[in-house]
Amino acid sequence: MLSASQLSEAPEDQGKEIAFAGRSNAGKSSAINTLTRQNALARISKTPGRTQLLNFFEIDEQRKFVDLPGYGYAKVPLSVKKKWHKMMETYLHQRDALCGIVLVMDVRHPLTEFDLQMIEWCVYSELPLHILLTKADKLNYGAAKNTLLKVQRELEAVNIAVTLQLFSSLKKTGIDEVHDVLDQWFEFENE
For residue 181, give the CATH number of its domain: 3.40.50.300
For residue 191, being part of any structural domain is answered with: no
Is the pLDDT at 107 greater than 90? The verdict is yes
| Most confidently modeled range among 39-48, 60-69, 140-149 | 140-149
Q: What percent of the chain has pLDDT over 90?
A: 58
| Distance separating the N- and C-terminal Cα atoms of the chain | 25
Mean pLDDT of the chain: 87
Number of domains in the chain: 1
For residue 15, being part of any structural domain is answered with: yes
The mean per-residue pLDDT over the stretch 113-118 comes to 89
* pLDDT of amino acid 43: 58
Closest Cα to residue 170, out of 143, 142, 146, 137?
137
For residue 113, being part of any structural domain is answered with: yes
* pLDDT of amino acid 77: 74
* pLDDT of amino acid 74: 54
Instruction: Tell me if 137 sits within 8 A of 173, measured CB to CB.
Output: yes
Q: Binning pLDDT at 50, 70 and 90, where does residue 188 land?
A: low
* pLDDT of amino acid 98: 96
* pLDDT of amino acid 89: 83
* pLDDT of amino acid 163: 95
How do residues 64-80 score in pLDDT, each as one tens digit? 999 988 776 556 677 77
User: Regarding predicted confidence, which is higher, 116 or 75?
Assistant: 116
Poorest-confidence range of 122-126, 151-155, 177-181? 122-126
CA angle, corner 183, sides to 174 and 131, nearest 5?
45
**Domain assignment of residue 171, given as a range:** 2-186
Bridge partners, 134 (sequence order): 106
User: Regarding predicted confidence, which is higher, 47 or 11?
Assistant: 11
* pLDDT of amino acid 144: 97
The mean per-residue pLDDT over the stretch 168-178 comes to 96
pTM to 2 decimal places: 0.89
Is the pLDDT at 191 greater than 80? The verdict is no
For residue 110, being part of any structural domain is answered with: yes
Q: What span, in angstroms and rounded, lies between the C-alpha atoms of 124 and 107?
A: 25
The mean per-residue pLDDT over the stretch 139-168 comes to 94
